[in-house]
Structures are given as structure tokens and as C-alpha cells.
Structure 1
Amino acid sequence: CVPTQVHINDGFCGMDVNTPLGGSIPIDASPVLTFDNLLLTSVAATSIHDSTVAFLGTSNGHLRKGVIDTRSTSFVYNDIIIDRGKSVNSDMHFDPNNKNYLYVMTERRITKVKDQECQDYQTCTECLGAKDPYCGWCILENKCSLRSDCAEAVHDPHYWLSFKRAQCTRITHVHPPQIQRTTVRTLNLIIDNLPVVDGQLFCLFTAGSITTTTNTSHSAYGINCPTPPTNLLSPIPANLHHFTAKLSVRTKFGPDLVATNFTFYDCSSYKSCIQCVSSPFPCDWCVGGHRCTHDTGENCRNDILVTGVSSVGPSIRSGPGFCPRINSTSETMTELLVPSGSLQPVQVKIDNLPQFIISKGFMCQFNIEGRVTTINATLFGEIIYCYPVRFEYNSDAPNITATFDVIWDSSKTLDNPDNIRVIIYRCERMAQNCGYCLQLPDKYRCGWCHDHCAVRDECHNLNPNISWLNDHDICPDPKIIDFSPKSGPWEGGTNITIEGINLGRNFEDIASGVHVVHEQNGINCIPFRELYEKSSKITCQVLNPNITSAHKAISGPVSATVTVKVANLYTAKSKQEYKFVNPHITSITPGKGPTSGGTRLTIWGLFMDAGSKVEAHLGNLKCDVVFRDANRVECLTSSRHMPGGERVTVRFDFGLRLYEHYEFIYAVDPRITVVESRSRHPRGVAKGIPSGGISLTVKGYYLNSVQAPLIYVEVDGVKYNNTCVIESAVEMKCKSPRVPLDKLNFSKSEKEEAYLELHFGFIMDNVKSVLDLSKRTHNPFPKFLMFKNPEFYKFSEPEHIKYYKSDYLTIDGANLDHALQKEDVIVSIGNDFCNVTSLSRSQLTCRPPATQPYAVLSDGSVDHNKIPDVVVFIGDALNFTIGSLSYDLPLHSNPLSKPVVILVVVGSCLLIVVTTIIFIGYCKMSRESNRVMKIMQQQKYEFEMRVLASDTLRTSNIYDDVALNSESKTYSNQHEYETIS
């Protein structure tokens, strides 16, 4: 098409200009990329090296990157989320000033996307595995980069590996794969795709902070290099048997070309045969030498050898099964139980003992609380008998473990693979009453000895006449320590849980012996077999007490005693009384809630904690009980299909109570139409700051059907909420939620107006329609805008003390009015407030009190002598101390020193005195001058009068002469005369 002045619309013919081109045969083509259940909305393409790269925008807000090599070879290698759920606009464009960036647009967002992120890949495998046509592995610089960023690739393209035609350089094998730390070996490294480089290659061994370098030589498939000298290697950490070093190959100045792990081990760190021969390293055990070694030829000459499972070569004794060892005399007994204070022999079985060991002699060694006891032992056949030793310990523990070893040849220990050990115990520390004592496992052989738990021998040693009870006997003196609940309804049915001691060996001992006895009769309490705990706990259900009408008439509690008879021999009675009571409902709050349910209903009354089980209902609808005490039951209402009223009932075990005064009303669910902040535009948007507490106005309908609404915002799946206050059925006020700063990421934008868009909603009992308002599909609310916290700066005056000048106070800051209005800010000056009058982006203005407030100390008390602090409070948790405000003049405004001040004051006084003297002298001189002037003026006046009289006479004579002698005098002469006279 060519530009034309003709208006082109659907009726344009195109006969003379811009004639349409077309044909009758369609063009067939096969797609190179297909996507299931996904609509592509935009495309932009470019080329890099020998690949065509397509950037594909999708209808769900993603940007997919694909490579199109041929009509049959293409793939997608990356998927970026641009604006989740929003369609990408069709007009994607590369930045005209930098083609490495692409502008991607959705309805409300423009995103600048870099064409590659090669630096994100840290290894060659990651780099080439990403299949990004822009990226390749720069061998000599050991990084993933653009080809243009790989310096050596300009000289030799083999130094930059692309994903298409290259494999990473890697060490495929190291021989040997591990060595004894105390030896030096030459390693053969087989390396795939090792580049040809100028200069020498080096092997580096790095362990911790220590790096050691060795030279290399080339081999057919890689390189050879020796391990470092042993004195330069890192030591093996305590309680370990090896350390792993990083083995890398590099040029003299370049980064690592390739690297792998290499292990240094130390066989001598193993101290037992089983550990030695079971290790993952080629270690062998010298039986006679009692040592683990890597070199049997040097260290195990003429000795019996047990070879390790990792050693190479045949052996008639290989693995831990050939190690000399001790075993338990019983297949299941690895704990040798010994009562504390007793004198006991110990015996164990031995295996795999060569004849020369038998001739060396044996000893048994016990370590009890750090005290090592060694005694002689004798071998009979396969059993070693340790002579009797007294086992006792000092701690208060019920039992302790003593380690046990069999020693041969004075210092060499036989292996103990089953961890045979001696458990020393005290019966009296394991059970404090008869019932618990007789329940101890049989292996301890404990019984009850008058007033404590002990083994039979210990008991009889104390007093042969004391009876010793075992688990077949009945414990005397049962006791009821506590029971609950302490009260139940008159109708019965309460499950009473009784806790005590010596409450029977088994259920049959107490099955018919539990009663609740009051003044009229005794009531059976039927125990539950499945809830019975031997000797210590009984749960039973009390039957209907059949209380007389006389007692019911007075409506007072009926007291009773709980009793337990054990095997019809011993009886326990409770010290506290059980009470039969008459629960009574007096009121309910609130009186209404939404039909969706979830209202926390409080049912007030008397004896509301009676019974073991309580159920509340609204008509036939269940109200789930969440709390109760003597005065109230609290429950959460169920939903109802439509608004209406329901009667409240509460069942206490077998007793049912009805609230008869009025019904609970199910009201219409609340509906929210507007949520907005009071701050500047845009309107109809909820805004807040991380510290929370910013005022929000919520409008809607039936809002007062809920008692305790909450507003929340969602961050990474976690909801953070704050409270709301109902103003009326159509309006409520909320405080924005507080969100920890570490949960919010403002780092993507350094602009002052940076904000995050968060999903939000309301928790209003169980009303689902107000949850996730910004997520709903039909008419979603705008997301909650979370702005950065505002900042207020301290006063710039020295020591941050500002002096009040009877005008407005201005406080500077940043990010002040994004989410705030002046009503959200409180400024205190000591114990009074500064009335906020205006708030802008960077300043707050307020009018301080007319008189200086008093300073407030940390404990809240008032200090009349200190300058009050100015503190700005924002929302719930944010405050700034700006400085102090003084209503007095500055005390240190004169920079002059005290002597100078004194000189200035004295000089000023002298100046005033001198000036006064001069003024007085001037006044006297002025009065004298005036007097002389008046005299002179008088004399002048008298003189002028005399002259005037004389001139008048002379003038008169002249006129007479003129009139007589000449009347022809001109006007000009006359004028001259007049002028002269």
C-alpha cells in the first residue's frame, strides 16, 4: 500500500490506487510451534547467530521464548510471567535504542524485558542446558555469557560453546579417586573437551581457606599432576576420617577451566576393627598390632589381617564379620540391668578371637559417671566372666548408662558392635507410689517395700519383716487427688474423670466400685474400660441421681462425694465435693448474626460450666461450643438457608435448657460496595502502609449484622488483618493491616511512589461473599495498594531543638500523602497536641498550643523543667521523634564569651552615660544660644526702625524736588527708582 489522501473504509474499491492483491488458492503451511489450551496474542521475532528467536505473548500474561531452526525443528526454552491472568497486547516492540530489550504491554502494565539473562547460569551444564541461543559457555573465563562478552571467542570460536554444537569440559575420571593423606601420588585426570590453551596448566587443591598448586603434564586423554606435599595439606577435622578438596585445572592467570572433588582420607583415624574395615576407603585392620592402615605391607608384617570392604584384591578374612568382638549372651539382650548399690558379675560372649589373643589375658572396664573401674576377667569357652563389681551412682536420675569394654593385652579393646552396656537403676527414682511401682517392666524386678519402690533383696536387707509387694498384689491406701468436672446437671449423664494413686492393678479391681454419694443416696458411676489407666485414672459416667422435688424447688446445688473402692479391700474418698446443679440461661449476645453463620454467640447464665459435655443449638441448627466457664457458653453459629429467628437451647449431658425470652435472629448477609482510603486520588481504592493503622471507609448494606469484622491483605498466601468498627448498617471504619517489612519487596522500584498491589478481603463471620474481594471473577475490587512507610525528618536546628515563634510548625518528610490524610497523623508536643492543618508529599503543618506543654518522661510522668519532645504518630505502630520545641528564647544564641559580654555591657553603659552628658550640655548651650539670638533680633529690629524713619524723611524731600524741577522723567527711570528704593 502507498499513502493516499483518499479515505479508505470498508466500501473502498481500490480500482485506481492500493488495488488489493489476492488469489483463489490458499497457502498451506504446517505450524512450527503448537500450544494446547493457550492463545497466543502477540509475536516479535529476531535472529541471533544462526537461530531465529520468537517472543510470544499469551492470553494469560506470559511471555514465551522459542527457537525456530527449521520448519520441523523448534522449541520453547523459557517462560516468563509478565502480568498473571492479563492478556499480552499485540503491539510488542524492541527498544529502538537498545535491541537487547523488548517492551511487553498488558492492559495496565508495561514491562521492559531483557532478551537474555545469561549471568543467571552458574555452571557450564546449566548454561548449555538452558538452550538459550543467546548464551554460551566462555571456557577461559568460566562463565555463561553472550559471545560478544567472551574476549577469547573473537580469536578462536572454540572458546565459546553454544548449546547446539558443544559439550562442556568435564573431568570424567581421576585415578586414583582418593588417597591416604600421608602419601603423595601422581593423579591421572581424564578430561573431555579440554581446550587447547597457550601456556602451562596447573592443578589446584582447595580445602577450606588453603589452596595448593601443582604443575601438570599432558597425557593422551587429559593431564597428570601430583598431589601436594603432605605438610601443605589441611588437617582432617576432629572426629572425621577424611576431607574433600576441590580439584581444579586452570591457566596461570585465568579462572578454573574444570573442577571436581577429590578426597584425602586417613586410615589411622579409625580405632576399631569394624570401623576400619567397613569404611569407604581401602583400609585394613592389623589384629595383633591393633591398628588401621592403608599399607599392610609396611605396617602389618607377620600379623593377622582383616581386609576392608573397599580394599582391592582377594582375602580370606574380609569385612567386619572377621573382627574380634564381644556379643551378648542373649540374642535380644544388649542392656545389662543392675540395681544401684548391688555387687554383680557380668558375662559376655566372644567371637573371632585368634589363639594368641587368648594367651594375653583379659580385663573388664566400666565407666560409671566418668569413674573408670577395671577388674579381672576369665575366659571359659566362648564366655568371658567379669569378676563382681559394685555398681552405684550419685545422680538423681532414675537410671544411668555405664559403658563397658573388654580389654586384652592390657590396652587393646575388643569391638562391641551391639553396643552392650550396663544400665544401673534405682526403683525408688522410677516410681513414687505403689501403683506405679508395680507397673514397672518386669525386667527391673521392682516391688513395693512399705513406703518406697525397691528390689526384693534391698527391701529384705532393710528389714526382713517388711512385706514386699509384686505386680500380683493389691496396693493399699488408694487416694483421689483430683476429679473433673466438679459439677453436673441434676439429670446426670456426666463423665467424671478421677485422677489418683493406687487405683487398682486392672479394670476389674474398680469396675463396680466407683460411686458419687450424697445425703440421700449413693449413685453408681459406671467406668469406661477403654479410658481406664492402671492405678492412676478412671473415667466414669454418673447416673441420674433422682434428686427429690424438694431439692429441685430450692434450685440450689446438691453436694456429693466421689468414692472408689479397689477390689473391695481399700476405699478412696475425694476431699472436694461434686455438686449436682441446675444450669439456667439468663441472656444471649449478640441477638443477631448473618445467615452464613460463624457468629460467636455468648449464652449467659448460671452454672454454665456444669457437666462434661455441652451442646448448643439454634432450633435444629448446631452451634459449635468453643469456650465456657461458670457464667457463659460461647459457640459459633451454623448457617441458615434464609433470614429468620431460632430458639437457643443448651444440653448439659442429660439435661436440656431452653432460652425462652427471645429468639436469635439470622439477618441478611452483609454486602460491601466500596472500600477506599481518605487520601488523594484515585478514589475507590484501599491504600495502606506496612506499619498499618491507616483509616479506611467501607460502605455497603447490612454491615451491622456482623459484630467483629476484620479486614485483611494477603502476602505470599499469609493473611494479615486488622479490626473494623461498625458505624451503621451501611458504613464501617477499618484500620489497614500491619504487614512485616521483610514480607514485602519494594526493592524493584526506588521511586517514592512505589507500591505493591495486594489481594484483600474481609472476615465477617462465615460470609464468603466478602472474602477475597480483589480475586473474584465478577466485578473484582481494585487491589489493595501498599505504599512505603512515610518518613519524617528531625529538626535541622542544633541538637534538634526548634524555638517556637508563635506561628505554625512545619515538619519535613517523604512519602507522606500517598496513603495518609492529616486525620491519620497525630503530633504530640509533650503532654499536649499540635493540631494538624495540612499534609503534602514532603511536609506536615500543625498549630502548636499557645503555651508550652510539659515534657513527658518514659514512665508517663510530667517534667516541668525539660523541653517537650515533638513526636509524630502514624497509624498503629509508626512514630518519629522529631526533636524538641522550646517556647523560650535561645539560651546559647550569643556566641560571645562571658568576658566579652561583660565588656560589651559595660561599654554600652558608658556610652549611654557619655551620650546623656553630651545631650545635657547641648541643651544648655542651645538655651544660651536662643537667648543671645533673641537679644540680637531685638537690637536689629530697633536699628531697622531708626533707619526706616530717617529714610522716610529723606524720600519725602526728594519727591518734592522732583515734582518741582522735572516732570518729564520716563517710566523706566521711575521703575528703576522704585526698584532701588
Structure 2
Amino acid sequence: MHKENECSRKDRCPRSDELYRFATDIDRCVKVISHPDSIAVSAHSVPLLLEVNNVPDLSAGITCSFGQQAQVEGHVNGNRVMCLSPAGKEAPHIPEGQDWAGIELRLNSKETGQMVGSTEVKFYNCSTHRTCLSCVSSTFRCHWCKYRNLCTHDPSSCSFQEGRVNASEDCPQLLNSGQILIPAGVVRPITLRARNLPQPQSGQRGYECVVHMQGSSHRVTALRFNSTSVQCQNSSYMYEGVKISDLAVDLSIVWNGNFIIDNPEKIKVHLYKCSAQRDSCGMCLRADRKFQCGWCSGEGKCTLKQHCTPLPTPYAGRWLDLSARSVKCTNPRITEVTPIAGPLEGGTLVTIQGLNLGLSFSELEGNVEVAGVPCTPQEEGYITAEQIVCEMAEAPRESAPGPVMLCVGQCRPELRAQSSQMYSFVTPSMLALTPGRGPESGGTKVTVVGENLGAGSTVTVLFGNQTCDVFRRTMSEIVCFSAPSLTGAGPVQVSLTVDRAKVPGSLAFEYIEDPTVQRIDPLWSITSGHTTLTVTGTNLDVVQEPRVRVKYGGHESVNVCKVLNRTTISCFAPSLKAEYTTDQETIKHVEEFGFVFNNVQALLTYNNTSFVYYPNPYLEPLSLTGVLEQKPGAPIILKGRNLVPSASGGARLNYTVLIGDVPCSLTVSDTQLLCEPPNLTGQHKVLHSVCGSMPGLG
């Protein structure tokens, strides 16, 4: 009902039969449209024509109010109302980072004193835009004055008509000119493509390039060739960091001091140093060709060609780059070989790391020997100049240890390398494994003991036909985790291969039935946990590092267990973290309760129990001062709450109270501990413990 402006039954709406007095459909609700619907903040008393649809007769008069401001007279003409916008000082505050703020314009009936309808009017500020593209992309009527470098709602404020910009394609802006590469410290110009570059007017300064790098700015005079091209004049740019091979830095083109040309492509200048991280010929020639770096043999460093000083000796003065035919880096060097032992049967992948190890994979093919045995380079493991991975061929039975030897392309002295490390041929063997049994579900951590087990590159341990996942290995042992059995309970043969060598042995591992849990006592703890739980079941002695777990409030907590024998495990109940148990005084039923027993998934959630947590016991201070004066031999009463859990079966917590170092005899109820103290005199600290904690009381 528009008269009272509230939801109502028709029979309670006065004059409801009159047109637009009572609306029964959303399309019949009052709708207010403002022309215009946005105003510049600097514009004062702008007439707003408000078209009001689905409204009763407005001839009794309308007032207008913006936000919380006072009502002013509205001029009514049929279903149209004219209101004046507020003065500039009364315009709404525009938040930082935005160019507008909205305010509610309310139309109020003089007849009823109620609001008839409302609409939002936006107040905008073009001057918040600092660039042309941002300005003309505004949703409001903003114009860019390119000769004044400002955004305005009033195009007449621009210096002259050709300086007004209303469309993004007319904005002065830089265009993508391709990647700009500048060697650090080298004098170079920078030429940029652009669009609509203004010609500075009388009294205005020319163009400059501003390169922003490592916290400082470097200004260089620029030349505007025409509206589509500008060039930063010859200059050099240097950055700090001997290990930074290339650095992308921001570039701005400005004119008249601080008028910035838009850079929509975010064009940067890429500065680079040939010598950074390229202290060998191979590393130098690995650099991207776009940098035009090469190896200056005479100076032993990576440089641009113009920085390589020619020497009298033709070879020593050479500048090497990949554009030359058959270019090779001399003096290859091997720094590390892994592994340094493997089986005679071969198949070992030997990784050779070093310097100047070729510029292409083809240079190494057929040119690598390890301890006198051919080693075939593998293309997938090759890293230009840095790393070779090769596969060992089978070695003769009496092969002796020896170095890695290789040639890069040709076996000339300057293209040969020999390792200082020696590679040995060994025979791996298996002697024992522990433990010798584990659950069918797998997950048992098994240690295979033997000799030369760390040799080679790839080791496979099989329990029957199932892989034992290798965790670590040394020359004397392999540690792996058993997979689930495919054949149920029973012994399986253990086999071992090292690369192509099949290691002899007659070891066996026995899969036994998964452990089960039959009983848990007690079925409760307190919130802080650590209650001792006795777990009985079958085959519990094969469990390694057993743990008990609970889930409450979507969060999991675990605690440790200890295997006592085949049928018994002792666990400490997990604690419920305080941040997930906001109510500390209620009984909590956990969502999940179970055990982490190797890889036995069936016990992760133990469905045959409903484990509960009772509130932690609380003991009050002995006195306000913390000191209790007591006659020798008189009983000490420690008051508190939750001292006896309300679990069935007469549940009790184990309390210990010490007077000094001497325990006292206790009688426990839900609200107090009665301590029969030893016959002591003087002042003694009183300590109590429950479930492993021991806070002081006085």
C-alpha cells in the first residue's frame, strides 16, 4: 500500500480501490528512474528529472532528500518530479580506489509523510583517473585532456578541442615493440612504437624515458620522431648482482616533466649480463641466442663480441658462439660421478656432472667409458654442457676399478676429460631380513641386510610378485615397505635385482592375517587425553609404531601405543585440542575412533565402540594467597569439579598428591580430593598429577 508504504491486506488499506493505491503484483510497485542517474561531484544543484511509475496522484506535493540530508521541495508535473542535487560540500565521500559513490534519493509524499519511492544517484569524480585509458574507460562521462594530463567531466576545460580524448584508441599509448634487450653497462638507444604521441606545446618540456630498477630511477632524454615513434637516446643501464643473469625492469615514457604515456602492454626493458652465472664456455653458449653472448677464449669469460679483445695467437683470441660451425668448448671437466659402484651385469645409469660437457647430445654418443667399459649416453638425461647420463654395458668378470673418460666430439687432448673418482664393479648379496613377518595388508617396514646393496642406480625388491617400496638404502642394507599380499597369508620368496643383476638368496617373508581389535578398556578419556587404554586382539605383535586416532569436530588427533605381546597393546588416549573443543564442560562423543596399524585400513575407523571424552578435572587454588596453613597431621581438602568421570562401571582417574616429596593417602569424590598427609612441619609445595600432567597448587 503506497499511502502507508507497508505490506497490508487490501481491506486495511485506505482508498485501496483508487489507481496505484494498492499493489498486488511486483510489476505494479513504484519504480523511480532518474535522468541523469549520475552527477559529477563538482557539479552543484544539477536538476534531476525523476520519472515515477505506478504511483498514485502526486498533486499533494513531493519532497526530495539525499541520504540523511534535509528534505527540499520537489517540483511535480504529472508523474514526473524535478529535484536539485545537493551542493558540492554535501556530496558523498568517494572511497579511495573508486571513482564514484552512491546515495539514496528518496521521494516523500506531503500527503502522508511517507516515502513514495527511491532510487540511487551516483556521484562520480573523473579526476581520480591518472591515465588516459583509465579515464576514457570509466562508466561515467569522463574526458581526457591530453595537453593538461588530467581527466575531467567537463570537456570545455581542455586547452583546445584537439586535446580532448573520449575513446581508448585515441589515447597516447605505447605499442608492443618486441622484447627490449639491453646488455648491462652497454650504451644503446631504445626505440619504441606508439600511437597518438602529443607534440609538446609552447612552454611544455619534451620527452624522457624513465627506467625503474632496484629502487632507483634512471632518466634519459627521449626524442619524439612523430606521433607513432619515440626513442630513448644513447645511455647505459647497470644493475647490482653478479649472479643475476637478466633483469626485467619497468619503463615509463613521460613528457613535460611528469605527463605519463599509457603503457597498456606493460612493456619492460630486459637488462642482462653475459658473465652472470656463466663462468664456463659451455654455460656461456647455453645462454639464449637472443642475448648474443659468446665465450672469449683469451679472457676466459662470457662476453659480447665487441668486448672480447683480440690476441696475437689466433686460437687464444677467438670469440666462440653458436653461430660458428662445429664450435666446441675446450677443456671439459668432470666434477662428480654417481653412483661410483655397480654390478658387472651392467644396466647402471651413471650420472656425470661437470663443465663444458658438450653443446649437443650427439657430441657424446659413443664417447663415454666408465672403468674401461662402454657407457651409452641417454638423451633424456643430458643437460647441455652440465650433465651426462649413460647406461653401463656388461663388464668382463675381472674388470678393475677405473675413472670415467670421455671426449667431446673429437678425442683431441683439449676435448678429453677424466674423473678423479674411481668406479668399481661389485657383487650385491642378501644375507637376512627383519622383521620376517607382517600383516597381509602390507605397510611393514622391512630391512634387508647384505653387502654392496647401495651399488647401482635402480634396485627392485619383490615379495613374491609384489614390489616392496624402497625407502632408503646403503651399502649394507635396504629399507622398504611391504605391499599388500595378493595370495593371502603365508610365506613368499624375497628377490632382489640391482640394475641388470639378479641377486641370489633364499630369504622369505611371511604374510600373516591382519591384526584385529576385540576389546578396548576403558572406552573413555578426559579432554586432555593420556588415559591408558588397554587394547586386546590378535596378531598385535606384528604392528610397527602403532598409534591410536580420534576425529572430533572434523580434526584428527593421534597418540602413541606400545606393543606388549601378541594379544595386547597399551595406548595413550589422544587429546582433544582446545581450539576445537569450545565447550570444555560437556561430554564429547567422537566422530571416529581407530588405530594406525601399518597399512591395515580396516582398523582406521573401529566401528564396534563409541569412545567418549569427559571434561578435564579442575582443582581450585588452596587459598587466595596460594598458601594453606594447616596443623600437622590434619587432612588437606582439595576442592574442584569433574574429579570422577561419569562413565559406567565405576570409572576412576589415577590421582597422585605429593606434600613436598611424600605422597599422601587419597579419598576421591566428584568435588574434592581428601588427602591424609604425612606428619610434616614447615612449608611444602603441594603437587598433584592425573593422566600425566603435574601442575602446582601451592
Shorter-chain TM range is 0.7 to 0.9
Q: Which SS does the other structure have where 2:276 is aligned? A: helix
Q: Which SS does the other structure have where 2:307 is aligned? A: helix
The CA distance in 1 between the partners of 2:646 and 2:54, in whole Å, is 60
- Does the CA contact (< 8 Å) of 1:601 and 1:637 recur in 2? yes
**CA 405–706 in structure 1, closer or farther in 2 if over 3 Å, else same:** closer
- Does the CA contact (< 8 Å) of 2:93 and 2:101 recur in 1? no
- Does the CA contact (< 8 Å) of 1:596 and 1:767 recur in 2? yes
- Does the CA contact (< 8 Å) of 2:653 and 2:691 recur in 1? no
The CA distance in 1 between the partners of 2:658 and 2:625, in whole Å, is 21
Post-superposition CA distance 1:736-779 (Å, at most 9, x none) = 12332223353xxx8x44323422222222334323222xxxxx
**CA 573–406 in structure 1, closer or farther in 2 if over 3 Å, else same:** same
1:724-739 superposed matches below 5 A: 724-739=561-576
Post-superposition CA distance 1:682-712 (Å, at most 9, x none) = xxxx223343222222222333242333221
Does the alignment pair 1:425 with 2:272? Answer: yes
Does the alignment pair 1:179 with 2:39? Answer: yes
Equivalent residue number for residue 687 of structure 2: 870
The CA distance in 2 between the partners of 1:497 and 1:350, in whole Å, is 52
Deviation at 1:651, TM superposition (A): 2.0
Equivalent residue number for residue 242 of structure 1: 99
Equivalent residue number for residue 900 of structure 1: none
Could you tell me which amino acid in structure 2 is paired with residue 485 of structure 1? P
Equivalent residue number for residue 129 of structure 1: none
Work out which of the two has the higher radius of gyration on C-alpha atoms and give 1 or 2: 1
Equivalent residue number for residue 530 of structure 2: 693
The CA distance in 2 between the partners of 1:743 and 1:381, in whole Å, is 66
The CA distance in 1 between the partners of 2:644 and 2:160, in whole Å, is 91
Q: Which SS does the other structure have where 1:321 is aligned? A: helix
Equivalent residue number for residue 880 of structure 1: 695
Deviation at 1:383, TM superposition (A): 3.8
**CA 599–202 in structure 1, closer or farther in 2 if over 3 Å, else same:** farther
Deviation at 1:591, TM superposition (A): 2.4
Could you tell me which amino acid in structure 2 is paired with residue 179 of structure 1? I
Equivalent residue number for residue 969 of structure 1: none
Deviation at 1:405, TM superposition (A): 4.3
Equivalent residue number for residue 791 of structure 1: 618
**CA 416–579 in structure 1, closer or farther in 2 if over 3 Å, else same:** same
Could you tell me which amino acid in structure 2 is paired with residue 653 of structure 1? D
- Does the CA contact (< 8 Å) of 2:633 and 2:676 recur in 1? no
Deviation at 1:734, TM superposition (A): 1.6
The structure 2 residue matched to 1:416, chosen from 263, 266, 271, is: 263
Does the alignment pair 1:650 with 2:491? Answer: no
The structure 2 residue matched to 1:840, chosen from 649, 669, 678, is: 669
- Does the CA contact (< 8 Å) of 2:338 and 2:352 recur in 1? yes
Q: Which SS does the other structure have where 2:576 is aligned? A: coil
Post-superposition CA distance 1:585-634 (Å, at most 9, x none) = 33322222122222222223333322222211223332222233344322
The CA distance in 2 between the partners of 1:170 and 1:626, in whole Å, is 74
The structure 1 residue matched to 2:187, chosen from 343, 350, 356, is: 343
Deviation at 1:847, TM superposition (A): 6.3
Q: Which SS does the other structure have where 1:574 is aligned? A: strand
The CA distance in 1 between the partners of 2:457 and 2:678, in whole Å, is 61
Does the alignment pair 1:466 with 2:317? Answer: yes
Q: Alignment identity in percent?
A: 26
Equivalent residue number for residue 453 of structure 1: 302
The CA distance in 2 between the partners of 1:819 and 1:629, in whole Å, is 54
**CA 608–381 in structure 1, closer or farther in 2 if over 3 Å, else same:** same
**Matched length:** 661
Post-superposition CA distance 1:168-188 (Å, at most 9, x none) = 989775554443233344667
Does the alignment pair 1:509 with 2:363? Answer: yes
The CA distance in 1 between the partners of 2:686 and 2:118, in whole Å, is 63
Q: Which SS does the other structure have where 2:696 is aligned? A: strand
The structure 2 residue matched to 1:213, chosen from 57, 66, 69, is: 69
**CA 802–645 in structure 1, closer or farther in 2 if over 3 Å, else same:** farther
Post-superposition CA distance 1:30-74 (Å, at most 9, x none) = xxxxxxxxxxxxxxxxxxxxxxxxxxxxxxxxxxxxxxxxxxxxx
Could you tell me which amino acid in structure 1 is paired with residue 339 of structure 2? P
Equivalent residue number for residue 266 of structure 1: 125
Equivalent residue number for residue 149 of structure 2: 290
Could you tell me which amino acid in structure 2 is paired with residue 818 of structure 1? P
Equivalent residue number for residue 19 of structure 2: none
Could you tell me which amino acid in structure 2 is paired with residue 528 of structure 1? Q
The structure 1 residue matched to 2:457, chosen from 608, 612, 637, is: 612
Higher relative contact order (CA 8 A, sep 6+): 2
The CA distance in 2 between the partners of 1:401 and 1:715, in whole Å, is 51
TM-score under structure 2 normalisation? 0.81
Deviation at 1:491, TM superposition (A): 3.2
Q: Which SS does the other structure have where 1:418 is aligned? A: coil
The structure 2 residue matched to 1:323, chosen from 166, 171, 178, is: 171
- Does the CA contact (< 8 Å) of 2:359 and 2:384 recur in 1? yes
The CA distance in 2 between the partners of 1:847 and 1:480, in whole Å, is 79
Larger helix share, 1 or 2: 1
**CA 787–188 in structure 1, closer or farther in 2 if over 3 Å, else same:** farther
- Superposition CA RMSD, Å: 4.4
1:167-206 superposed matches below 5 A: 175-184=35-44, 185=46, 205=67
Could you tell me which amino acid in structure 1 is paired with residue 188 of structure 2? Q
Could you tell me which amino acid in structure 2 is paired with residue 499 of structure 1? Q
Could you tell me which amino acid in structure 1 is paired with residue 545 of structure 2? A
Does the alignment pair 1:523 with 2:523? Answer: no
- Does the CA contact (< 8 Å) of 1:427 and 1:454 recur in 2? yes
Q: Which SS does the other structure have where 2:135 is aligned? A: helix
Could you tell me which amino acid in structure 1 is paired with residue 89 of structure 2? N
**CA 738–216 in structure 1, closer or farther in 2 if over 3 Å, else same:** farther
- Does the CA contact (< 8 Å) of 1:822 and 1:836 recur in 2? no
- Does the CA contact (< 8 Å) of 1:825 and 1:873 recur in 2? yes
The CA distance in 2 between the partners of 1:755 and 1:324, in whole Å, is 69
1:596-675 superposed matches below 5 A: 596-640=441-485, 641-660=487-506, 663-675=508-520
Could you tell me which amino acid in structure 2 is paired with residue 484 of structure 1? T
Q: Which SS does the other structure have where 2:626 is aligned? A: helix
Could you tell me which amino acid in structure 1 is paired with residue 284 of structure 2? C
- Does the CA contact (< 8 Å) of 1:599 and 1:765 recur in 2? yes
